[in-house]
Amino acid sequence: MTFVSTHFGSIQVDESSAIEFPGGLPGFEDRRRFVPLQHAQAGGLILLQSLERADLCFLALPVQVLRPDYDLVLTPEDRAALELPNERQPRIGHDVAALAILSLQEGQDPTANLRSPVVIHLQTHRAVQAIRPDERYQCREPLVPPPIEAVCS
């Protein structure tokens, strides 16, 4: 299908690649269908384009790009929404993909939301923004590490 995005113009979208958020995204509960698009020039960057609102698009990165040892924790409710078994936590790259939504504000360093990643069940294409039950990660984790200062001069 052809979709006209406010940001990217006319794009070809394979319907089978669309993901569905059964409960929408926080703040956008009425927007449930998105398509993940790979950014051609920025390796790893994912664009989550709404298929219901042409001007709604989120920038995201796989959590493993930001934290290779990222520990995914889903609540039983999130696992049910994703149609995943309750016996164990799903594994990133095997059962699910996990994306951190980026925040880019003028005059501020970019940040990533590692506290509430977008989790996509790879088989069903169902997705949730899974809010962690702990505070191991923050909503505004810095993308750029602080500068390293020399300790010897």
For 65-90, how does the pLDDT look when each residue is reduced to its tens digit (9 = 90+)?
999 999 999 999 999 999 998 888 89
pLDDT band, very low/low/confident/very high, at 147 (cuts 50, 70, 90): low
How high does pLDDT run on average in the chain? 88
Question: In the predicted model, is pLDDT for residue 42 greater than 70?
Answer: no
Q: Quick one: which of 53, 38, 59, 41 has its CA closest to 6?
A: 53
Q: What is the dihedral of CA 139, 50, 33, 134, to 10 degrees?
A: 0
* pLDDT for residue 1: 84
pLDDT band, very low/low/confident/very high, at 35 (cuts 50, 70, 90): very high
Does 3.40.1160.10 match the CATH number of domain 2-141? no
**pTM score:** 0.87
The token pair that represents 71 in the structure block: 């520990």
